[in-house]
């Protein structure tokens, strides 16, 4: 703490109050880009601005992730709205399934711009949070591709999220995507790993890469490989077990991740 206090004491000019990019830059660690997002709140002059950092040891429930949101709106029931938005965004991101002790998500509302429509505020907050979530996933350590996995037709929201997370966290799926290999068998494996025969009828499951169905129907491998070479890959799993859905985000697994985490000690 003596070093922290000395550093604070050495700041001899007021810090800017409106420079989100400076904040995002200051909190970077192994991030390769700063992460900032902003949105206007419909029907008002108020805004939401957010910053985030973290690209390794990321799977919230505790991770080396920090995200901060600021708004000049006056908001009732801020805690409930914020928790709901975070649950649908940052709590659905995973870089490497590993967790740490620094996971932080904070929202500060000054109220300076006055009251706003609650639905409009939640929409703006969600827009900013989703943008930052994807930025974190896209900048995962060693990552070259953003992965989005949607699981629908689930019996419960928990089941949908469990299956989607199993797919996005699978090292075999992540490495296949890194190599632009349309290996749907690895996705099927992850679904099976996360469910039981009593939960899911495998003959009713559908798997798509992008808009192309790969299971049970065969796909055009040339077109599919071209799609997999893009910098964003979407996997869509339909479980045919109910009406619930979940979407999660992650990234591919490259040799760069190994090098970043093998070549230093802490």
> Which residues, 6 or more positions from 110, have their beta carbon under 8 angstroms from its beta carbon?
70, 71, 72
Distance CA(126)–CA(25), nearest Å, equals: 22
Cβ(146)–Cβ(232) under 8 Å?
yes
Helical pair 171-178 and 184-194, crossing angle rounded to 10 deg: 160
Cβ(193)–Cβ(162) under 8 Å?
no
Edge to edge, the sheet with strand 66-71 lists 35-40, 47-53, 66-71, 104-109
Cβ(15)–Cβ(55) under 8 Å?
no
- Beta strand ranges found along the chain (DSSP E): 35-40, 47-53, 66-71, 104-109, 146-154, 206-209, 212-215, 232-238, 244-251
Cα angle 20, 26, 29 (rounded to 5 degrees) comes to 125
> Would you name the residues annotated as active-site residues?
64
Cβ(37)–Cβ(67) under 8 Å?
no
């Amino acid at each position: 703490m003596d070093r922290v206090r000395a550093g604070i004491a050495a700041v001899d000019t007021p810090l800017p109050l409106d420079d989100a990019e400076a904040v995002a830059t200051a909190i970077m660690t192994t991030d390769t880009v700063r992460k900032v997002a902003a949105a206007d709140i419909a029907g008002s002059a108020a805004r939401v601005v957010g910053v985030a950092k973290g690209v390794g040891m990321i799977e919230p429930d505790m991770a080396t992730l920090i995200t901060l949101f600021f708004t000049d709106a006056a908001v009732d029931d801020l805690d409930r709205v914020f928790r709901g938005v975070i649950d649908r965004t940052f709590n659905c991101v995973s870089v490497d399934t590993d967790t740490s002790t620094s996971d932080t998500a904070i929202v500060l509302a000054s109220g300076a711009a006055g009251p706003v429509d609650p639905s409009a505020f939640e929409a703006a907050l969600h827009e900013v949070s989703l943008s930052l979530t994807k930025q974190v996933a896209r900048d995962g350590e060693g990552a070259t591709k953003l992965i989005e996995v949607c699981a629908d037709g689930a019996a419960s929201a928990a089941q949908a999220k469990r299956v989607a997370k199993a797919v996005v966290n699978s090292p075999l799926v992540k490495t296949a995507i890194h190599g632009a290999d349309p290996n749907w068998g690895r996705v099927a494996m992850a679904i099976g790993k996360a469910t039981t025969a009593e939960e899911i009828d495998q003959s009713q499951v559908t798997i798509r890469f992008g808009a192309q169905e790969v299971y049970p129907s065969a796909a055009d491998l040339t077109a599919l490989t071209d799609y997999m070479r893009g910098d964003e890959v979407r996997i869509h799993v339909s479980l045919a077990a109910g009406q619930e859905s979940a979407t999660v985000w992650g990234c591919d697994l490259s040799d760069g991740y190994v090098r970043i985490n093998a070549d230093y000690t802490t």
